[in-house]
Structure 1
Amino acid sequence: MNYSIKNERVVFNDHYKILKAQATYDTFKGESITTDRLAFHRGDSVGIVLFETDTDSILLTKQFRYPATQHGEAWILELPAGSLEKDETPSNCISREVLEELGYHIENPKLITEFYTSPGGSTEKLFLFYAEVASTAKTEAGGGVESEDEDIQLVKIPVAELGLYLSNEINDAKTMIGLQWFLFQKMNDIKR
């Protein structure tokens, strides 16, 4: 099946961008469709499941999220995450973000998977990592970058309570995916 994109242009340019283009693509019936489409363009991002071994805890962030206020919520529990900067590798980006947000130095984050966050409306692809740290790896304050108006709280969730948090507290997709992956890995480790 084939597609083509024509007349792609930026129709809104602020902190994020909106792209508009004419898309022509093959249908499953062997025909083609030509239509105008919009895409929210924010760049690619990273996230990490960060396991603190000596406390048997997952390290999460809690921060204000303006879009969530549309549903009556504001502070969201999430995996540490952030946006890739120009020419930055995903592994370097996640190491930088963990240091900025939580104050931990991490080494050799393992790529778990990559996925589109909302392929019907956004160009964003997220690279999801896993790493283990000890509490002694926290050598800086964390809390986010002040010049970016970040105000991030570190939240440690004991592994024994992850199921409860997934059922009642977590409503961010990347965090659900990451924590479910982690719990699946733990179950497999126990069965071996």
Structure 2
Amino acid sequence: MEYTIINEQVVFNDHYKILKAEVRYETFKGETITAERLAFHRGDSVAILLVEKESNSVLLTKQFRYPTTQHEKGWLLEIPAGSMEKEECPLACVKRETLEEMGYEIEQPDQLFNFYTSPGGSTERVFLFYAKVSKHQKTEKGGGVEDENEDIKTVKIPISEIQEYLQNKIMDAKTIIALQWLLLNQ
């Protein structure tokens, strides 16, 4: 099946971008649809599920997320994550983000998946990684980058309590995917 992007343009450009385009694509019946579409363009990102060996716990972040205030939430529990810089590979980015947010140096995490966060409206792909860490790998304080106004708290959740957290305390999709993967593969 074929598609054509016609007249794509940036219609909003601030911290993130919004793209607008006319698209033409083949239908499953062999016809053609032409329509205008918008896309929230924020670039690709990485996320990592960290398991601390000594405590048999997952290491999560807790931080303020403005968009969730639309649903009366402010702070979310999430796996560490961050946006990729231009020309940065996912592995380099996940190492950088793990050090900045959690303070842990990691060597060779396993890449589990990559997926779209909301393919009907966003261009973002998330590259999801997994690593086991030891306390001696914590070489920096973590907590985020002050220049970026990050204020990140580390939260340890025993693996034995993950199911309870999934029931009512985890609202972030990438974190749910990662924790479900852990429960299926531990």
Shorter-chain TM band: over 0.9
Specify the alignment match of 2:21 in structure 1.
21
Q: Is the 8 A contact 1:55 1:135 kept in 2?
A: no
RMSD: 0.5
Residue 61 (structure 1) shift: 0.3
Residue 95 (structure 1) shift: 0.5
Give matches, 1:92-103, under 5 Å.
Answer: 92-103=92-103
SS of residue paired to 1:101: helix
Specify the alignment match of 1:85 in structure 2.
85
Measure, in 2, the Cα distance between the counterparts of 1:29 and 1:63: 47
Which one-letter code corresponds to 2:182 in the other structure?
F
Measure, in 1, the Cα distance between the counterparts of 2:68 and 2:54: 33
Which one-letter code corresponds to 1:119 in the other structure?
P
Which one-letter code corresponds to 1:45 in the other structure?
S
Percentage of pairs with the same residue? 64
Number of equivalent positions? 186
Measure, in 2, the Cα distance between the counterparts of 1:128 and 1:145: 21
SS of residue paired to 2:73: coil
Give matches, 1:23-62, under 5 Å.
Answer: 23-62=23-62
Specify the alignment match of 2:179 in structure 1.
179
Which one-letter code corresponds to 1:82 in the other structure?
G
Residue 10 (structure 1) shift: 0.4
Q: Is the 8 A contact 1:103 1:141 kept in 2?
A: yes
Using the size of structure 1 for normalisation, the TM-score is 0.96
Measure, in 2, the Cα distance between the counterparts of 1:138 and 1:154: 12
- The superposition leaves residues 99-135 of structure 1 with CA deviations (integer Å, 9 ceiling, x where unpaired) of 0001111110110000000000000010000001001
- The superposition leaves residues 74-99 of structure 1 with CA deviations (integer Å, 9 ceiling, x where unpaired) of 00000000000011110110010010
Residue 168 (structure 1) shift: 1.3
**Structure 2: unaligned runs, 5 residues or longer:** none
4+ residue segments displaced more than 4 Å: none
Residue 43 (structure 1) shift: 0.1
Measure, in 2, the Cα distance between the counterparts of 1:2 and 1:87: 28
